[in-house]
Structure 1
Amino acid sequence: MLVGIKKAILSCLVVFFLVTTNEVFSQENFTRADTLRGSITPERAWWDLNYYHLSVEVFPESKSIQGKNLVRYKVKEAGKVLQIDLQEPLEITSVMQDGEQLSFERDGAAHFISLKKEQKPGEFQEIEIQYEGQPKEAIRPPWDGGITWTKDSNGKQFIASSNQGIGSSIWWPSKDHPADEVDSMLISVTVPKDLMDVSNGRLRGIEENSDTRTFHWFVSNPINDYGVNINIGDYVHFGEEYEGEKGTLTMDYYVLRENLKKAEKQFQDARRMIEAFEHWFGPYPFYEDGFKLVEAPYLGMEHQSSVTYGNGYQNGYRGTDLSGTGWGMKFDFIIIHESGHEWFANNITYRDVADMWIHESFTNYSESLFLEYFYGKEAGQEYVRGTRARIQNDRPIIGTYGVNSRGSGDMYYKGGNMLKTLREIIQDDEKWRSILRGLNKEFYHQTVSTRQVENYISQQAGIDLKPFFDQYLRETSIPTLEYYFSRDNTLHYRWMNCISSFDMPVDVTVGDKKIRLYPTTDWQEQTGLKGQNLEINPNFYVSLLRMN
């Protein structure tokens, strides 16, 4: 009877915890600006991005920019007002269509442009937006976002953009929502004569002006707005070619002149990264645009085909091992992690920021796959398990939809452990690899939702994984396998501290016997066991509670 009372109290506490936690996190306050940024507004819905030509001149001394953006779009249905975003203190000075000046109203970062010309479904139209000002300066890049204005050790200007969280509209006018990626893009950046700009895609040409130079970079693949970047400095270049799954991939490296020798050694991890990730995820997604690694005056970010690097030419994360196992010092964290985003973020992109786990969970897990490819499966497993100490379980991994709200930072370490757990459930490494590769093929150059990813994995695995994803993505509690042995060595077990539908199988060892259990939230029994010592396969991210 005492055991039953204990179980009832524990169950009540778990329910209370889940209810109160969910209530707390549903009480977030969002503004009209959040909705205008994070939702597909009527002024965004009727047109589809086709092409940008972003042309911008950078003035380092005044920390200002001036430029224009040609926006070509396809009309999906008739519309009269079009939304373009640009954040203060930058200002749009002019909007033109077919030589006519257009009027617009500003609501925070959102600019609602009134069109004069009839917008006929199926037709392509263009507007040209001119803008200028001093963009927000990044104080703690890449987390707060903006433009970083610094100088290298030789006193040369060293400037870069980074804007994943705050949005591309922090420095250029765009349709600043992830659901609509532009099909291709030309980026023209004018800088002082003694500097170079490195942006996304391939360099089409350099235009020599009297006191400046203009670098023209063309992106031939769809690209998310936050992945567009400028990197300005006294760069030197070296590179190599890699014979990959889709042929010859050009790999170009741009670093400050003073760091060339360091980079020639450290950037060897880039070639190893391509080899490992093509094995796990399929072909690099942007062969046409090549791969670039570009030194930046901040830690680094996953800009498509222009991955930025600032990890100090050292292994680990700023010289430390995030897993605490030693394996994290076998690779340069920024090269591996940020490049992993080429598959999960740039190839497969979330449709809403609430689903940011699609980017970060898979890319966090990619670090362990890199280790597994070169150092063996146990190395990768130890690395993932080592990161659990960093999990907070503070709020759900999935954020609030429609308001540009990301979920918990647990999307990194908890997300990686969730995927490792999923691999254990599937129990077939080749099938797991085919699922990872299949995701990048099925959703090639697409924006996706969490449900699409969940459904694809469930279908390929042949398992209904909805309760699994609901538990790990939408709740904060960690499933606990509660068990006890009766006097006849019968094992009694169930899941607790979880949603009522949770039914994940789990591998355990009882005595010297390894078995797979299929717990639900109801008590079940297993007979024929010897001994009363139970251990869970440590690669499952769960807790264990023995009832006495």
Structure 2
Amino acid sequence: MKLLRLLSVGLSLLLALNSQAQKKQSAAFSRADTLRGSITPERAWWNLLHYDIRVQPDIVAQTIKGSVSIQFKALQKPLKMQVDLQQPLKIDSIIWQKGKKEKLIFQRSGNVAMVTMPAFLKAGMEGLVTVYYQGVPRAAVRAPWDGGISWSKDELGNPFVATSCQGLGASVWWPCKDHQYDEPELGVTIGVRVPDTLMNVSNGRLIETIQHEDKTKSWVWQVKSPINNYSVSMNIGKYVQFKENYQGENGNLDLTYYVLPQNLNGAKKQFEQVKPMIKCFEHWFGPYPFYSDGFKLVEVPYLGMEHQSNVAYGNKYQNGYLGRDLSGTGWGLKWDFIIIHESGHEWFGNNITSVDIADMWIHEGFTNYSETLFTECMDGKSAGNAYNKGARRNIKNDKPILGVYNVHNTGSGDMYPKASAMIHTIRMSMNNDEKFRQLLRHLNKRFFHKQVTTDMIQKEMSAFAGYNLKTVFKQYLTTTQIPELEYQLSADGRQLKYRYTNAVPDFNLQLPLTTGNDILVLKPKVKQWQLLQLTQKQAAGLDLEKLADYFYIVINGRKEAQIKMN
């Protein structure tokens, strides 16, 4: 009875602590977080079709003014329309543009404007509203991690301005429906007006330049593909350009590079890595997803960012990550980190986009894994495997990789190296590189220009793996535990006893390993010993410690004179 009372008290205390933890987590987020991070009713009733962005930055005053026309279709009875624009930027007016023009009433609360729609708007109808705005946009503090607009100068004293807003949100510099779940089906038009001694480079293709009487020029770019908001970019500088063509899986792909003139020679040498990169990623991931918009690298005053069809580059024309190898193996110094990593996002992040930023591992984990694949393309599978294992040193296991949903929250930075290690672990578990390659290509075809969730990715990967990966995803994405393979081997090496510990219940990662000419597939269970009788040849070739080279697990084993099941 005393034990039961203690258990009852312990359970009550645990439930109370859990309830307090949930309340504390809920209290950590505000209504503003919910408005920013959820598919609110004021977002859900309309489908985004196209943005037409027209802006004029004042480089001296570091201000911006402009307009954004939002084309949409009503999916149901219209409510108020939520338009996001981060303070201190101000909305001057919002105008209904379809048919008879009408000034719309809106209420501003923090970073959100709720716009009253015309009474005649019905489900199935298309609409067009233009938001006129101006003010002081947030200046980047430490781009691209703490972004906004970088108001800077190049080494010759010329203006050098660029945007970076992943995580922060595109509404830091232009009004939009600032959530990843809805991308403009008909693309985006971006017109930026700058002094005519400078150039603006944005996403897609340049379709028009307009010379104005006040010695300014508008550079108008068109993106034909759907695009996530944070990819839309403005890059202003005294650029020169050079071009190449690449014959890829879907035909001719334009490669265009915009760099500062003083860096032209270095760029021509460093950007020789682009064609091998495209070839490698098309092999593994499928066709480049934006042939209609081309591929660009544009020099920026910060490290880099995966802006769709307009990859921002600031790695100072050197290999590695600003000259460092993040894996510590030496392989990462054989290629330019920004060219490879940020371009990898064209497939994962830009083609396939997570619905909620809580699932940003889908962007960063697969793209981090593209570094492993490029190393493999250049120097072989053993080099790629060594790079992937070396990069594990960056894993912190500080908190789960998945963030909190519907409040614009991301999880641990482990979404880069740990999610990559998980993907590599799943690949090794499949023990079939061609099938794994077809899986990656399938994902990019199945979810072409679409938004996805972790559950959707897990189900597709499970189908190719041949077993349910639900607990594998749960282990690596929602806990900070590294699963441990515990084993005991008899003195003669013929009896193997093994199990998983430090793992979620029913963790079922399969472990193929080569022993002599045989391939054994271990299927350890959590906290349940299993006994395997080995042949002499299998015992002679068994090396369980090497599993840690390929799988993100801990190996803990010993030899015993006699194996006992207990």
Fold shared per TM-score above 0.5: yes
Q: Which residue of 2 is the match for residue 12 of structure 1?
A: none
Q: Which residue of 1 is the match for residue 116 of structure 2?
A: 114
Distance (whole Å) between structure 2 residues aligned to residue 368 and residue 536 of structure 1? 19
C-alpha contact (below 8 Å) 1:65/1:134 kept by paired residues: yes
Q: Secondary structure at the match of 1:444?
A: coil
State the 1:26 CA deviation.
7.7
Q: Which amino acid aligns with 1:37?
A: R
C-alpha contact (below 8 Å) 1:484/1:546 kept by paired residues: yes
C-alpha contact (below 8 Å) 1:484/1:492 kept by paired residues: yes
Distance (whole Å) between structure 2 residues aligned to residue 483 and residue 25 of structure 1? 41
Q: 1:526 aligns with which of 521, 528, 532?
A: 532
Distance (whole Å) between structure 2 residues aligned to residue 425 and residue 176 of structure 1? 38
Q: Which residue of 2 is the match for residue 90 of structure 1?
A: 89
TM-score by length of 1: 0.94
State the 1:200 CA deviation.
0.3
Task: Please show how residues 12-411 of structure 1 align to structure 2 within 5 Å.
Answer: 27=25, 29-98=28-97, 99-183=101-185, 184-210=187-213, 211-411=215-415
1:492-543 CA-partner distances (Å, limit 9, x unpaired): 1110100111121114577998633110111111123547974242101100
Q: Which residue of 2 is the match for residue 7 of structure 1?
A: none
1:412-435 CA-partner distances (Å, limit 9, x unpaired): 101111111111111111100000
Q: Which residue of 2 is the match for residue 437 of structure 1?
A: 441
Deviation larger for 466-475 or 143-152:
466-475
C-alpha contact (below 8 Å) 1:511/1:533 kept by paired residues: no
Distance (whole Å) between structure 2 residues aligned to residue 293 and residue 26 of structure 1? 44
Q: Which residue of 2 is the match for residue 478 of structure 1?
A: 482
Distance (whole Å) between structure 2 residues aligned to residue 216 and residue 533 of structure 1? 61
State the 1:371 CA deviation.
1.1
Q: Which amino acid aligns with 2:203?
A: N
C-alpha contact (below 8 Å) 2:95/2:104 kept by paired residues: yes
Q: Which amino acid aligns with 2:556?
A: L
State the 1:130 CA deviation.
0.1
Identity between Structure 1 and Structure 2 (%): 50
Distance (whole Å) between structure 2 residues aligned to residue 310 and residue 274 of structure 1? 19
Deviation larger for 487-496 or 312-321:
487-496
Q: Which amino acid aligns with 1:185?
A: V
Distance (whole Å) between structure 2 residues aligned to residue 179 and residue 226 of structure 1? 12
1:334-357 CA-partner distances (Å, limit 9, x unpaired): 000000000000000000000000
Distance change >3 Å, CA 178–CA 491, structure 1 → 2: same
Q: Secondary structure at the match of 2:60?
A: helix
Q: Which amino acid aligns with 1:441?
A: K
TM-score by length of 2: 0.91
Q: Which residue of 1 is the match for residue 555 of structure 2?
A: 544
C-alpha contact (below 8 Å) 1:506/1:536 kept by paired residues: no
C-alpha contact (below 8 Å) 2:471/2:506 kept by paired residues: yes
1:141-180 CA-partner distances (Å, limit 9, x unpaired): 0001100001112211000000001000000000000000
C-alpha contact (below 8 Å) 2:431/2:512 kept by paired residues: no
Measured on the aligned residues, the alpha-carbon RMSD in Å equals 2.0
1:256-311 CA-partner distances (Å, limit 9, x unpaired): 11111110101111111111101110100000000000000000000000000000
State the 1:487 CA deviation.
5.9
C-alpha contact (below 8 Å) 1:25/1:395 kept by paired residues: no
C-alpha contact (below 8 Å) 1:511/1:534 kept by paired residues: no
C-alpha contact (below 8 Å) 2:436/2:464 kept by paired residues: no
State the 1:460 CA deviation.
2.5
Distance change >3 Å, CA 374–CA 509, structure 1 → 2: closer
Q: Secondary structure at the match of 2:200?
A: strand
Q: 2:473 aligns with which of 464, 469, 474?
A: 469
Distance (whole Å) between structure 1 residues aligned to residue 556 and residue 65 of structure 2? 62
Q: Which amino acid aligns with 1:543?
A: V
1:58-85 CA-partner distances (Å, limit 9, x unpaired): 1100001100000000100011300000
Deviation larger for 532-541 or 219-228:
532-541
Deviation larger for 505-514 or 193-202:
505-514
Distance (whole Å) between structure 2 residues aligned to residue 449 and residue 147 of structure 1? 30
Q: Secondary structure at the match of 1:491?
A: strand
Q: Secondary structure at the match of 1:319?
A: coil
Distance (whole Å) between structure 2 residues aligned to residue 68 and residue 503 of structure 1? 53
Distance change >3 Å, CA 398–CA 26, structure 1 → 2: farther
Distance (whole Å) between structure 1 residues aligned to residue 237 and residue 88 of structure 2? 25
Distance (whole Å) between structure 2 residues aligned to residue 25 and residue 425 of structure 1? 39
State the 1:118 CA deviation.
2.4
C-alpha contact (below 8 Å) 1:176/1:225 kept by paired residues: yes
1:38-97 CA-partner distances (Å, limit 9, x unpaired): 000010000000011000001100001100000000100011300000001100110011
